[in-house]
Amino acid sequence: MLKRFLILLCFIASSVPLFAGLKWVDVGVNGLTCSMCTRSVEMSLKRLDFVESVKMDLETTEGRIFFKEGVPVDLNALAKAVVNAGFSVRFLKLQLSFDDIPLKDDGSFIFQGQSYQWLDFQNKVEGPVALKLVDENFLPKKERAELIKKFVALKGGDQKILHVVQG
C-alpha cells in the first residue's frame, strides 16, 4: 500500500509544472553610488505586498526581486518603487516559460491578467525566454527613443499593454 502511495505521489509531483508563475525579475537602477542607495531601493521594493525579497548588487547597480508565490505582480509598481526611492530604472527583465501561457500569432499574450505585446516576436518559442520591458517606466529616455524608431507600436499605443522584446 505504501509503495502504491509513493508511486502516486511521484507521478503527481512530476506532472506539476516547474514554472508556476513569475519567480523573479532583474532590475537595473541608475544612480546607485553607495550602500545606502542600494538599501533605499531595496526597502522601497520590499514594501510592495507581492515582493518576497530583494538582492541588490552595488557593483553592477542591479537587483533581483523575488516574488511571493500565488500573488499577482505589478511591474509598474516595481518601477514606481525605484523612482520613489530617488532613482530611475535602466531595465526590467523577466523570464517566462510559454508552456502554460497561450501566445497568439502576433506575439501578444496575457500573463497574470496583464496584456503584453512581444515586439520582436519570431513565431517560435521554446522553454523559458528572457524578456525586457520597453515601455516608458522601464527604460531610459534615450534607449526608449531608439526603440520607438524601430517599433511603431510604442508611439502612443494602448497604455494598458506592456511591450517586451527578447533580451
Tell me: the pLDDT tens digits for 17-49?
Answer: 333 468 899 999 999 999 999 999 999 999 999
Residues 6+ apart with CB under 8 A from 18: 97
Q: Would you say 20 and 13 are in contact if contact means Cβ atoms under 8 Å apart?
A: no
Give 83's DSSP letter: H
- The position carrying cell 502516486 is 8
CA distances from 95 to 2, 21, 143, 153 (A): 39, 10, 21, 22
Other CB atoms within a 10 A radius of the CB of residue 65 amount to: 28
The yes or no reply on domain 20-166 and CATH 3.30.70.100 is yes
User: pLDDT grade, residue 63 (50/70/90)?
Assistant: very high
- Whole-structure pTM value: 0.80
Sequence ranges of the domains in the chain:
20-166
pLDDT (tens digit per residue) in 86-110: 999 999 999 888 888 889 998 999 9
pLDDT (tens digit per residue) in 148-157: 777 766 665 5
Q: What does the CA dihedral 119, 122, 125, 131 come to, rounded to 10 degrees?
A: -30
Which residues lie across from 91 on neighbouring strands?
28
Residue 155 has a pLDDT of 62
> Pairing between strand 161-166 and 108-111?
unpaired
Alpha helices in 53-133 (DSSP H): 75-84
Helix (H) or strand (E) holding 142: helix 141-150
Give the pLDDT mean for 61-81.
Answer: 94
Give the pLDDT mean for 75-90.
Answer: 96
> Pairing between strand 128-133 and 88-97?
antiparallel
Give the pLDDT mean for 75-96.
Answer: 95
Give the pLDDT mean for 118-146.
Answer: 88
Q: Would you say 21 and 76 are in contact if contact means Cβ atoms under 8 Å apart?
A: no
Give the pLDDT mean for 64-72.
Answer: 92
Q: Could you list the beta-strand ranges (E) of the chain.
A: 24-30, 51-57, 62-67, 88-97, 108-111, 114-118, 128-133, 161-166
Residue 15 has a pLDDT of 32
Give me the percent of the chain exceeding a pLDDT of 90.
50
